[in-house]
Amino acid sequence: MALTLVLVSFSCTGPIVGTVLIKSTQGQFWTPMVTMLAFSIAFALPFTLLALFPSILKKLKSGSWLGQVKIVLGFIEVALALKFLSIPDQTYHWGLLDREVYLAIWIVVFSLLGCYLLGWLRFKGEEAPEGIGLTRLGLGIAVFSFVVYMIPGLFGAPLKALSGYLPPMKYQERSYTRTNDLEIPHGLPGCFSLSEALERAQAEGKRVFADFTGHGCTNCREMEARVWCDPRVLTLLREHFIIASLYTDEKKYDAAPQDRIVTPEEKELVKMGKVNSYIARTRFGINAQPAYVILDANGNQLTPVRGYDLNIDRFIAFLQSGLD
């Protein structure tokens, strides 16, 4: 369980751990120490307590409730497994899980979970519950409410609360084509190369809004659905910036010949994702998404790197700071 916990959480905690490890090599002491201590305590504490107090573990094993918890977690694991499958599906553009198919599977999975919580579904060898307590009833109501919330998504509702966990709106079955694998949110104009964005900025007299993003970036989708959608933000981005959406996990498309990079180790970076990831790390010190940087037409950085923050007013202030 401990190993599984570390593995499934590493995709999100890896950038944080990587950052503090870099700081430790730069001579910083307390920040890496405190951060790694927090991680170690969070991962180790539950298992340490059970080892120190085996009587607690014995009590946990008594009764059928633990089996019921495992079954509930199993349903949730199936739903989350679909989420992790959708990330390579978007990254490699397989086209297996469009938004409607994804939602349909989630609706079925959580409907079955609700049926199980209310005692309408039982597994082989499992005893029938004598009655439904308030806890299971409350959980059942919550699960079915979640199902009802998801149903409009089959017909095009944005479902902002789940924006980071569902395929983007562009993956709707009725609108998805192979030509919009790469797309800037909300139909905003822009490009997918930093060099092209700088050329257009020089021609149009605008700033460059560099958006280091990724197909599998949950926080990126949440920012786009809950912050970029604000009319004030859309106006600023459309009128004053050339947007460069730089996908750092793009596996399918090659970068333009002029954008390809040869590293100091004499390795040529061809894929768009590798080129953008290299630029993010070496030029801006970025190792996590989303990350936003405002540049002038000559490529000079005008603002500090901005990360995940759902406060719309602060995001607007960030955009305006790049125009001053």
Mean pLDDT (the chain) is 85
pLDDT of residue 53: 80
In angstroms, rounded to a whole number, what is the distance separating the alpha carbons of residues 193 and 271?
A: 12
Entry pTM: 0.73
CA-based R_g, the chain, Å:
23
pLDDT of residue 178: 47
Is pLDDT above 80 for 317? yes
| Distance (Å) of CA 164 to CA 90, 169, 179, 183, 215 | 13, 11, 23, 16, 11
Q: What is the pLDDT of residues 227-264, one digit of tens each?
A: 999 999 999 999 999 999 999 988 888 998 899 999 88
**Residues in contact with 291: Cβ distance below 8 Å, sequence separation at least 6, in sequence order:** 212, 280, 284, 305, 306, 307
In angstroms, rounded to a whole number, what is the distance separating the alpha carbons of residues 193 and 283?
A: 15
Nearest-CA neighbor of 197 among 281, 256, 284? 256
Class of domain 185-321: alpha beta
Nearest-CA neighbor of 133 among 187, 218, 215, 65? 65
**Model confidence band, residue 213 (pLDDT cutoffs 50, 70, 90):** very high
pLDDT of residue 277: 92
pLDDT of residue 16: 65
Name 243's bridge partners. 190, 209
Average pLDDT over residues 161-181: 71
Is pLDDT above 80 for 171? no
Q: Which of 13-17, 120-124, 187-191, 271-275 has the lowest mean pLDDT?
A: 13-17
In angstroms, rounded to a whole number, what is the distance separating the alpha carbons of residues 126 and 65?
A: 11
In angstroms, rounded to a whole number, what is the distance separating the alpha carbons of residues 97 and 212?
A: 24
Q: How do strand 207-213 and strand 241-247 relate by DSSP bridges?
A: parallel
Cα-Cα-Cα-Cα torsion 281, 283, 289, 290, nearest 10 degrees, comes to 180
Classify each residue of 69-86 as buried b or exposed e, where b means 16 or more C-beta atoms within 10 Å of its C-beta.
eebbeebeebbeebbeeb
In angstroms, rounded to a whole number, what is the distance separating the alpha carbons of residues 114 and 72?
A: 9
Any idea where the domains of the chain sit in the sequence? 1-62, 80-175, 185-321
Cis check: omega of the bond before 290, within 30 degrees of 0: yes
Q: What is the pLDDT of residues 100-152, one digit of tens each?
A: 999 999 999 999 999 999 988 888 877 766 778 888 899 999 999 999 999 99
In angstroms, rounded to a whole number, what is the distance separating the alpha carbons of residues 174 and 292?
A: 31
